[in-house]
Chains A and B, each alone.
Chain A
C-alpha cells in the first residue's frame, strides 16, 4: 500500500494526515489523450486499480482540448491529463502549451506519456509546464512511482 503524508497547518498546529493513495484517487477525474487505442486501454487498466471512477479518453489533441475545456466550463474539470506527444494533427506538446497558457488550468496536472526518450524532450516538456513525464513502454510499476508524485502536486496546487 502506498501512502502519502502531507502536513496541513491549522492555527499554529500541524496535523499529519496519512491517507492511502487509493482513497485520494477515487474522486479524481482523469483524461487519457493518445491516438493509440492500445495505450488508452493499458492506462485505463492501470488507473482502474487505483479505484479512479472517472477515466475519459480522447484520441487526438483537438478533441482533448474540446473535452477538457467543456468539462472545466461545466464545473467538472479534469484533475489529471495523461498526454501522448506524437499524435496526428495537434501534438501533445501543443495541447500542453495550450492549457499552460490559461490560468484556469493551473491546477490541472499534465503528465506526458510518450515514446520520446530524449533528455531534450523531457526538459522541453517540463519547462513548458508538464507535471511529469513517463517514457513508453509504461509499466504498472512506473505508474505506481509516478502517481503519488502527481497526487502530491495536486495537493500543493489545489484550486482556490
Chain B
C-alpha cells in the first residue's frame, strides 16, 4: 500500500525532496537552502501562496502542496525576470508552480519506481491548505520565511522534518 510505503520510507522521501529543492534553488535562484529540523509547523501564516499538484494512482490519491510567503516569491521572481518586466500575480504564480512541478514530479516518479503507477496534474494555485492528512511535511527557510512542502492524502497524519542552518 502506498501510504504504508511512504510511512516506512519517510527518510528516503525526505532526502529526495530536500535534494531536489536544494538543486532547484541553487540552479534557478543561486540560493543555498537547507531544510528545517524540526520542521516549522505553522498554520495560517499571513500572506501565503499555496500551490498544489494532484498525484493519483490506483491506490493513492494525494496533493503535493508547496506554500511560500508572497513577498518571498516576488523576490525569487525578481532574481530571474528581467528588470524591465513588471512583477505581477502571474510572476508569483509562475515561481510557485514551477517549484511545485519539479518537487511533485520527483515525488511521483519515486512512487512509480515502486510500481504505484501514479500521474501528476499541472500545478495550480489554491487558496488554502488541503483537507486530509499529511504523510510528509517538510519546511525550509527561504529569505527568512518558511517554505513548506506537504504531501496530503486521506486520513493519516505524520510529521517528518529536516534541518536548516
By a beta-carbon cutoff of 8 Å, the part of chain A in contact with chain B is 35-39, 41-42, 45, 86-88, 115-118, 136-140, 142
Contact = CB atoms under 8 A, between A and B. Distances in A.
Contacts of A87: 122
A52 to B, nearest CB: 15
7 contacts: A39-B98, A42-B80, A115-B102, A117-B109, A137-B20, A137-B27, A137-B102
A116 B109 contact: yes
B90 to A, nearest CB: 6
Nearest to A141: B27
Tell me if B's interface is mostly helix, strand, loop or mixed.
Answer: helix
Given A116-B105, A117-B105, A137-B102, A42 B28 contact: yes
B122 A38 contact: no
Q: Is the interface of A mostly helix, strand, loop or mixed?
A: loop
B23 interface: yes
Given A115-B101, A139-B27, A37 B94 contact: yes
Contacts of A36: 94, 97-98, 101
Contact of B105 (A38, A45, A86): A86
Contact of A115 (B26, B91, B106, B112): B106
Give the top 3 A-B pairs by smallest Cβ distance, nearest first: A37-B94, A115-B105, A139-B27
Interface in B75-114: 77, 80-82, 85, 90-91, 94-95, 97-98, 101-102, 105-106, 109, 112
Given A115-B106, A137-B23, A41 B101 contact: no
Nearest to B94: A37
B109 to A, nearest CB: 5
B14 interface: no
Given A117-B109, A137-B20, A139-B27, A38 B80 contact: yes
B82 A41 contact: yes
Given A115-B101, A139-B26, A38 B94 contact: yes
Given A116-B109, A137-B23, A38 B28 contact: yes
Contacts of B95: 38
